[in-house]
Amino acid sequence: MIALVALKNISGWQYFAILTVLLGYPYVHAVQVAWCSRNAGSIRTRTVAASLYNMAVQLSQIIGANVYQASDAPRYVKGNTALLVICGVCLVLYPLTYLFYRNTNTSRDKKWDAMDPKEKSEYLRTTKDEGNKRLDFRFAT
């Protein structure tokens, strides 16, 4: 995307080649759905998380259909810049999400490992925590 924004005065074939390489990456929708489902924990939160994820995907389709405007043709500098900003936001959000999950797992590991087998058994028997709120639940990273 940076190339499309930065290289405004390239030939049509160079533009086509860069666009083909950029759009030729695997679609990660299935990975994100699996990650969302795995980290939801309980069936109740998995259902809500899957619904919210689906709504976000549908919203992105609506936004995506309006990124490239006829008034921005033929190089679509505004549209490519908007997509570059979205990619930049994702480059920040994905590592932050990973760090959140990793830190939560580390914190839970410390609490869980500090318990003796009797305390663990008691916790598992009496806990009211469900799904990803449980001390023995680990987020997929």
Q: What is the pLDDT of residue 15?
A: 79
Q: What pLDDT, on the 0 to 100 scale, is given for residue 1?
A: 61
Whether pLDDT at 63 is above 70:
yes
CA distances from 130 to 33, 44, 63, 126 (A): 21, 10, 36, 11
Q: What pTM did the predictor assign?
A: 0.75
Alpha-carbon distance 117 to 97, whole Å?
Answer: 31
- Calpha distance 3→15 (Å, rounded): 9
Q: Are 6 and 75 in contact, with CB atoms under 8 Å apart?
A: no
Contact assessment for residue 26 and residue 39, using Cβ atoms and an 8 Å cutoff: no
If pLDDT is split at 50, 70 and 90, which confidence band does 24 have?
confident
- Return mean pLDDT, the chain: 88
State mean pLDDT over 25-35. 81
Q: Name 136's Cβ contacts closer than 8 Å, sequence gap at least 6.
A: 108, 112, 120, 123, 124
Q: Residue 47 carries which side chain, given as an amino acid letter?
A: T
| 102 contacts 108 by C-beta, under 8 angstroms | no
Alpha helices, DSSP H, located in the chain: 2-6, 12-23, 29-40, 43-64, 77-114, 117-126
| For the chain, domain boundaries | 2-133
Q: At what angle do helices 29-40 and 43-64 cross, to 10 degrees?
A: 150
Mean pLDDT comparison of 10-14, 16-20, 37-41, 104-108, highest-scoring range:
104-108
